[in-house]
Amino acid sequence: MARDPEAAFFKRLEGLQPCEVSELKPGTHIFAVYEKLKEIESTILAKRDALRQFEIEYRKALAHFQEVTNKYNQEKQSVSTFEK
């Protein structure tokens, strides 16, 4: 079975896991803050959900396109037999 190149695109965000919140123990700590992590995480999770829905729409449209293309080729072949 041939590998589906679109599947990799639609599954890119599937491995994302929400941030883990940990309690700190007393002592000295060094922090590195990278912008607004919770906001970015929320945006990525929303994008992942939107991408899941889009994949469903995309697959339906692709199947319909392939169906119409096959019908076109059959009709084209049918017409060409009349021209001979």
Report the alpha-carbon distance of residue 7 to residue 51 in Å, rounded.
11
Q: Which letter does DSSP use for residue 23 in this model?
A: P
Task: Quick: pLDDT tens for 19-66.
Answer: 676 787 888 877 777 677 778 888 999 999 999 999 999 999 999 999
Q: Where are the domains of the chain?
A: 26-83
* Region 5-12 average pLDDT: 82
The model's pTM? 0.61
Spatial CB neighbours of 38, under 8 Å, sequence gap ≥ 6 = 19
Query: Given this model, what pLDDT does residue 15 score?
Result: 77
72 or 27: whose pLDDT is higher?
A: 72
Query: Given this model, what pLDDT does residue 1 score?
Result: 43
Query: Given this model, what pLDDT does residue 2 score?
Result: 53
Query: Given this model, what pLDDT does residue 6 score?
Result: 84
